[in-house]
Amino acid sequence: MTNLPQPSDDEDEDYEPFYGCCRTLKHLVVRGTPGHIDLFLDNTTTCNLKTVAVEFLSGANQQLITDCIEHIAEDALLDHPVLRSLSIKYPYESYYDDEHASGNAGANTLRDATLPGVLSPALRIPFLRKVTLDFHTIPVLTDAGLLQMIDAWPRLTALHIAPPRERYESRVKLSPAVLVAIAQRCPRLAELTLPEIPLDAVPPEKNLPVVGQRALRRLRVTFHDRGREHALYTAALFLDRLFPCLALNPRFEQEVVEPPGQGQGYFRMSWEHDAREEARTWRRVEEILYMMQLGRRHREELKNANAAY
């Protein structure tokens, strides 16, 4: 992992020891300010890297992030491409320190960007197999944008898009239909994390499609509405028909009742409360999915037992 040095009067002097150092590296994790990361990647050769992880430690606009990814893409497409994994992290702490603390919240130009636009250079790397994205606020993401990304990476085996921290102004506009398209277009996908799909938008049971993508083992979808038990069942049935081979290990935890007064006012508006509700909803969906799988295995065992007689 490379932690870039702090700025000085002569930035080139600070970076001189790093120039060219990535020629023989296979895995790189680089953390620093956007300007320093851009300078570092611009002055190093990373054509032999198999994995690259970039973490921005201060506020970055769309152009700076895209420029950094452009350097990675340019090197990745040289000679014999070997890059398989790309991770971009822009944690909430960076956003908070750089913009909120300075009173310049309007400087976050990612609010007006699209996620495929920010990642546009990476869309030219068709051999990527794992992509991890963790933004404090996800740029605009729609079904069409997400499908543009997965079509650009036909060998994708893992896609992780972490849910945004700022749910009250989310720009994620995904529908359940995008999961159907992913199941149909990504036969190799084994891991998937997606943010914010509305639970009440899942089609009724009689209209649920059957795809049966059997490679996916690990799935996490953020349902931002908890919904009724029947809605959770329908959502689980929807996922089971798309991805019937999920590796599940539900805990079947007993429901925890919040103390009186904590479900009102500021607590209900807090991100921590929203995250707990979303985790609780997903655990319940996992439990229903597990019982569906258990029922299938039990039916198969009975069928085999009857055939033996």
Q: What is the span of the domain harbouring residue 34?
A: 2-308
pLDDT on residue 156: 96
- Cβ-contact 59, 36 below 8 angstroms: no
What pLDDT does 116 receive?
96
Task: Note the pLDDT of residue 63.
Answer: 87
**CB-side neighbour CA atoms (13 Å) of 288:** 18
The pLDDT, as a whole number, for residue 135 is 87
Mean pLDDT in residue range 88-116? 64
Other Cβ atoms less than 10 A from the Cβ of 167: the count is 17
Q: What pLDDT is stored for residue 62 in this prediction?
A: 85
Q: How many residues does the chain have?
A: 309
Residues 10-69 pLDDT 10s = 444 444 445 455 567 789 899 988 888 988 888 876 678 899 999 988 777 888 899 999
Q: What is the mean pLDDT of residues 89-106?
A: 55
The pLDDT value recorded for residue 35 is 85
The beta-strand segments (E) located in the chain are: 2-3, 27-32, 51-56, 85-90, 130-135, 141-142, 158-161, 172-173, 191-194, 218-221
Bridge partner residues of 140 (DSSP): 114
Inter-residue contact 193 to 220 (CB < 8 Å): yes
The model's pLDDT over 179-200, given as tens digits with 9 standing for 90+, comes to: 999 999 999 999 999 988 887 7
State pTM to two decimals.
0.83
Could you write out the DSSP letters of every residue in 218-235?
Answer: EEEE--SS---HHHHHHH
Quickly count helices (H) and strands (E) in the chain. Answer: 10, 10
pLDDT digits (tens, 9 = 90+) for 217-243: 999 998 766 557 888 899 999 999 999
Instruction: Determine the longest span between alpha carbons in the chain, in angstroms.
Output: 85
For residue 93, what pLDDT is reported? 58
The pLDDT of residue 60 is 75
Displacement of CA 62 from its chain's centroid (Å): 18
Tell me the HSE value of 298 on the side-chain side, using a 13 A CA sphere: 6
**Quick check: 278 and 163 in contact, CB under 8 A?**
yes
Q: How far apart are CA 206 and CA 52, in angstroms?
A: 44
Question: For the domain that residue 8 is a member of, what is the CATH number?
Answer: 3.80.10
The pLDDT assigned to 4 comes to: 52
H, E, C per residue of 126-164: CCCCEEEEEECCCCEEEHHHHHHHHHHCCCCCEEEECCC
Tokens representing 264? Answer: 């009102």
State the Cα–Cα distance between residues 134 and 136, nearest whole angstrom.
Answer: 7
Q: How many domains does the chain have?
A: 1
Span 243-299, pLDDT tens digits: 999 999 877 765 554 555 544 444 344 546 667 777 888 888 999 999 999 999 888
The pLDDT value given to residue 24: 73
Environment class of 138 (CB within 10 Å of its CB; exposed 0-12, middle 13-18, buried 19+) = buried
CA atoms within 13 A on the CB side of 132: 14
pLDDT for res 101: 42
Q: Nearest 5°: phi and psi at 181?
A: -65, -40
- Examine the pLDDT at 161 and tell me if it is beyond 50: yes
At residue 204 the predicted structure's pLDDT band, cuts being 50, 70 and 90, is confident
